[in-house]
């Protein structure tokens, strides 16, 4: 065992104090040889104990356990440590300042899905900006707060999703060159305008600013994001018309601009140039005008959500050109971006960024991530569309959600709708309702008044009869005499008919 370099015990149901595991490993000579320790996806508990003796350790994966408490300072003495995963545990305290001294050595740091609080230091000074491949940093789903500090320019993966960061992101304009692939600042408290300095971010694959408080217009310089695959600005306070410079982002797969205040007509260049789109969500804005036939060029589109706008005119018949919506089976349940990170000559980390999307499903809004690739959705509800429902839509046999409700559609519903066998959610197809809610028509009947009436009806009906019988003796006797009489009558009738049938069979 003195030459053991890698120990993998991950994906089991091992339990107990993590300190005991380290103590057992420290008793032998393996403490000097061990380079890789995989203990993730178990049930270990307790703090991270003294680890200074593991002088050769390069990779330490302790994610998805129940570790809590403190992290021993001896971790900073692991001079060869390059990959550290502590995500999916129960750490609640602030990160001590000495911890960030590890940064210059690491190629991968994951602290996500804990309850860590506090502020971040200037990460651009703590991480080695000259390191080949940079350092991937994932601290999503914690309680970090304050402004976002300058970030290392050579980090391919930066995920700060779901924290409490506030203020502007003007620091981005101080970065002249970078090698970022993924930048996720979604679900924070960020505000101000979007920076107009995207010229040097042409390596970005994913940019996610969802669920913040950004306002103003989309800057023209976003058109320099030539390699962008996912642009998500959902649920902010952005306004204005979509800049024509976005036509340069021809590699886009996912474009989610929903829940803002954009206006104008839906640009024709979306269908003419962004033909790789898989997801297009413009829901809950102020777009008006007709649906241009150029959108029919989106042959790969799986989710098209134009709901809650002021779009008028007729539904284009060419929607049957949405080829991806004609497939009933999809082999890939996710939509995302993946990359491997080389940590040591023999080992590496593999991260995948999965696109998530909020969709209205059966009257409620839900988030789809690990199954988004299976969704085929067409939502044109809550607009001012008129005319008949094109029969060509019924060629989209892969649809599992079709919502045309709250429009001014007329005419019969074609019998071919029965061919959409994959449908799981089809609200009323042709109602005229000015309501801005996304509830199904049937759900509008279920109101608080309905439940009050139901309860009152039960008490009045039940106690109106039973209470009277309990309080009035003569009525009670009369009621039970009636039941006894009915019982005797049923018995006599049954006995007579049975006797007649027996005689008939004997004859």
Cα distance between residue 274 and residue 265, in whole Å: 16
Dihedral-angle region of residue 231 (phi above 0 means left; psi in -120 to 50 means alpha; beta otherwise): beta
Q: What is the distance, to the nearest Å, from the Cα of residue 428 to the centroid of all Cα atoms in its chain?
A: 26
Cα distance between residue 465 and residue 281, in whole Å: 56
**Residue 312 backbone dihedrals phi, psi, to 5 degrees:** -125, -175
Q: Indicate whether 394 pLDDT > 80.
A: yes
- The ranges assigned to domains in the chain are 454-506
Cα distance between residue 79 and residue 347, in whole Å: 17
Where residue 26 falls among pLDDT bands split at 50, 70, 90?
confident
- Contact criterion met (CB below 8 Å) for 70 and 92: no
**Residue 323 backbone dihedrals phi, psi, to 5 degrees:** -60, -40
Burial 277-292, CB ≥16 within 10 A → b, else e = bbbbbbbbbebbeebb
* Strand partners for 430: none
Structure confidence by residue, pLDDT tens digits, 162-221: 999 999 999 999 888 888 999 999 999 999 999 999 998 999 999 999 999 999 999 999
Structure confidence by residue, pLDDT tens digits, 284-305: 999 999 999 999 999 999 999 9
Cα distance between residue 239 and residue 259, in whole Å: 10
Round the CA-based radius of gyration of the chain to a whole number and report it: 32
The pLDDT score that the predictor gives to residue 132 is 80
The pLDDT score that the predictor gives to residue 480 is 64
* Full 3-state SS string of 456-492: HHHHHHHHHHHHHHHHCHHHHHHHHHHHHHHHHHHHH
H or E element that contains 343 = none
Of 240-244, 341-345, 379-383, give the lowest mean pLDDT range: 341-345
H or E element that contains 357 = strand 357-361
Q: Which of these, 334, 331, 333, 324, lies nearest to 397 by C-alpha position?
A: 324
Burial 87-115, CB ≥16 within 10 A → b, else e = bbbebeeebeeebbebbebbbbbbbbbbe
- Contact criterion met (CB below 8 Å) for 117 and 137: no
| Residue 336: strand, helix, or coil | strand
Where residue 444 falls among pLDDT bands split at 50, 70, 90?
very low
Where residue 2 falls among pLDDT bands split at 50, 70, 90?
confident
When pLDDT is averaged across residues 477-488 and rounded to a whole number, the result is 66
- What's the DSSP call for residue 432? -
Of 34-38, 154-158, 421-425, 470-474, give the lowest mean pLDDT range: 470-474
Where residue 489 falls among pLDDT bands split at 50, 70, 90?
low
- Using the structure block, give the residue that is written with the tokens 């080695």: 128
Cα distance between residue 118 and residue 143, in whole Å: 7
Beta pairing, strands 364-368 & 357-361: antiparallel
* Full 3-state SS string of 108-143: EEECCCCCCEECCCCHHHHCCCCCCCCCEEECCCCE
Q: Which of these, 334, 313, 341, lies nearest to 131 by C-alpha position?
A: 341
Beta pairing, strands 384-387 & 364-368: unpaired
Where residue 274 falls among pLDDT bands split at 50, 70, 90?
very high
Name the more confident of 11 and 176.
11
| Residue 194: strand, helix, or coil | coil
- Contact criterion met (CB below 8 Å) for 286 and 343: no
154: Cβ–Cβ under 8 A, 6 or more apart, which residues? Answer: 127, 129, 130, 131, 133, 134, 135, 178, 179
pLDDT cut 90: percent of the chain above it = 57
Instruction: List the structure tokens of 173.
Output: 């304009």
pLDDT cut 70: percent of the chain above it = 81
Cα distance between residue 317 and residue 420, in whole Å: 17
Cα distance between residue 499 and residue 491, in whole Å: 12
When pLDDT is averaged across residues 45-57 and rounded to a whole number, the result is 91
The pLDDT score that the predictor gives to residue 443 is 41
Cα distance between residue 264 and residue 330, in whole Å: 35
347: Cβ–Cβ under 8 A, 6 or more apart, which residues? Answer: 6, 36, 58, 59, 83
DSSP string, 219-277: PGGGGG-TT-SEEE--SSEEEEPPPGGGGG-TT-SEEE--SSEEEEEPPTHHHHH-TT-
Of 236-245, 256-265, 400-409, 447-456, give the lowest mean pLDDT range: 447-456
Structure confidence by residue, pLDDT tens digits, 114-131: 999 999 999 988 888 777
């Amino acid at each position: 065992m003195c030459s053991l370099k890698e120990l993998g015990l991950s994906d089991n149901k091992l339990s107990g104090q993590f300190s005991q595991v380290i103590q057992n490993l420290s008793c032998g000579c393996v403490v000097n040889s061990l380079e890789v320790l995989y203990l993730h996806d178990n049930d270990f508990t307790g703090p991270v104990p003294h680890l200074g003796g593991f002088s050769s350790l390069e990779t330490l994966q302790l994610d998805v356990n129940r570790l809590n408490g403190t992290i021993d300072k001896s971790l900073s003495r692991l001079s060869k440590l390059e990959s550290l995963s502590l995500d999916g545990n129960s750490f609640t305290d602030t990160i001590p300042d000495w911890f960030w001294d590890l940064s210059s050595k690491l190629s991968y740091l994951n602290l996500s899905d804990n309850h860590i609080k506090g502020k971040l230091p200037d990460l651009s000074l703590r991480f080695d900006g000259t390191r080949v491949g940079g350092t991937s940093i994932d601290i999503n789903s914690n309680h970090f707060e304050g402004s976002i500090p300058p970030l290392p320019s050579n980090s391919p993966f930066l995920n700060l999703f779901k924290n409490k960061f506030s203020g502007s992101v003007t620091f981005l304009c101080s970065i002249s060159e970078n090698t970022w692939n993924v930048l996720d600042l979604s679900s924070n408290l960020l505000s101000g305008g979007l920076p107009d300095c995207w010229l040097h971010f042409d390596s970005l694959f994913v940019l996610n600013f969802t669920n913040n408080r950004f306002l103003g217009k989309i800057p023209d310089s976003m058109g320099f994001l030539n390699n962008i695959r996912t642009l998500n600005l959902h649920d902010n306070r952005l306004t204005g018309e979509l800049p024509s410079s976005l036509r340069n982002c021809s590699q886009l797969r996912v474009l989610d601009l929903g829940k803002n205040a954009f206006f104008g007509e839906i640009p024709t260049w979306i269908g003419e140039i962004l033909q790789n789109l898989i997801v297009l969500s413009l829901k809950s804005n102020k777009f008006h005008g007709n649906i241009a036939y150029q959108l029919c060029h989106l042959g790969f589109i799986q989710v098209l959500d134009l709901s809650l706008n002021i779009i008028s005119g007729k539904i284009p018949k060419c929607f049957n050109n949405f080829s991806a919506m004609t497939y009933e089976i999809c082999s890939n349940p996710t939509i995302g971006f993946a990359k491997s990170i080389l940590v040591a000559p023999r080992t590496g980390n593999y991260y995948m960024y999965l696109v998530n999307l909020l969709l209205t499903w059966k009257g409620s809004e839900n988030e789809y991530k690990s199954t988004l690739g299976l969704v085929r959705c067409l939502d044109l509800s809550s607009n001012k569309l008129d005319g008949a429902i094109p029969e060509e839509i019924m060629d989209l046999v892969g649809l599992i959600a079709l919502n045309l409700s709250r429009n001014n559609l007329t005419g019969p519903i074609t019998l071919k709708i029965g061919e959409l066998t994959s449908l799981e959610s089809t609200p009323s197809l042709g109602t005229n309702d000015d309501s801005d809610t996304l509830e199904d028509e049937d759900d509008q009947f279920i109101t608080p008044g309905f439940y009050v009436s139901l309860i009152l009806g039960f008490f009045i009906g039940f106690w109106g009869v039973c209470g009277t019988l309990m309080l009035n003796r003569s009525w009670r006797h009369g009621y039970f005499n009636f039941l006894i009489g009915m019982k005797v009558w049923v018995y006599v009738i049954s006995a007579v008919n049975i006797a007649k049938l027996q005689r008939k069979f004997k004859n």
